[in-house]
Amino acid sequence: MKKKAQGRDTDREAARPGAPAAGSNLAGHALYLDIDGTVLDIAETPDATEVPDFVVPLLAQLGRKVDGAIAFVSGRPIAAIDTLFRPLKLAAVGVHGGEIRMPDGQLIADQRLSSQLQAVEPLLQRAMQQIPGAALENKQCVIALHYRRAPQRGREVLNAAELVVGSLGSEFALSLGKCVVEIRARHLTKGAGLRQLMEQPPFRGRVPIFAGDDTSDEDAFEVVNRLGGISVRVGEVGPTAARYRLADPQQLRGWLLEMAQS
């Protein structure tokens, strides 16, 4: 792997990460992958996301190379992940850790605080109806407010979300992503979900590789870094804890293809 310059990125990009070396040996590693903006190109809406024909066979091949130690780590619900990648069903961290599918298929759902969030869903739904191009996605333990169809409306969406979070109390927080504002319990993070999955065989004891593209992936990058793993930020230049960078999902898919063939 190409080494990153010492230090974390700053707003001036004083220590911009480079790309990981192609065709890296996967022996002894575990592979964790975000989906939207990482493995797959971001679409206008979650339902419009397309999976290139070669991706499912590629992921299955990578799974064989790491003895099954491959998982999705996503903001999507696990049911939505399965629909995208059927018939493939990998271990997964869904809804930022609100759902975890263990390697044996056991599904664990974190319902703490979900009832409080569901109580404000009608209020948020009415607010989104007043913002052209905005849409609400209810993931039960997380509510996502999308505005990719109207990026100029981001301030209005954020204002609506801030009003609701203020009424929910300190146990909830806002997470800002690519044309999305998410409201979720503070304890739900991809990093926390990743740590749970790492404790299970066949992931246990392996060096983690994690690729993600957004602010919600940053705590997972830090978990991977502390374990001496490989953290890869996909997409635009900006501050990140990731040690490596790839330009876009197409480049990430190319990197995965080279690893599968090495």
Catalytic residues, by residue number, are 34
Rounded CA-CA distance 213/210 in Å is: 10
Rounded CA-CA distance 256/203 in Å is: 18
Using the structure block, give the residue that is written with the tokens 């903006």.
37
Secondary structure of residue 45 in the 3-state scheme? coil
Rounded CA-CA distance 229/241 in Å is: 12
**Closest Cα to residue 171, out of 185, 159, 160?**
185
Task: Show the tokens assigned to 13.
Answer: 């990009």
Task: Show the tokens assigned to 159.
Answer: 């204002």
Rounded CA-CA distance 241/260 in Å is: 26
What order of strands is seen across the sheet that includes strand 142-146? 135-138, 142-146, 180-185, 172-177
Secondary structure of residue 213 in the 3-state scheme? coil
Q: Answer yes or no: are the C-beta atoms of 244 and 18 closer than 8 Å.
A: yes
What are the residues whose beta carbons fall under 8 Å from the beta carbon of 47, sequence distance 6 or more? none
Rounded CA-CA distance 129/136 in Å is: 9
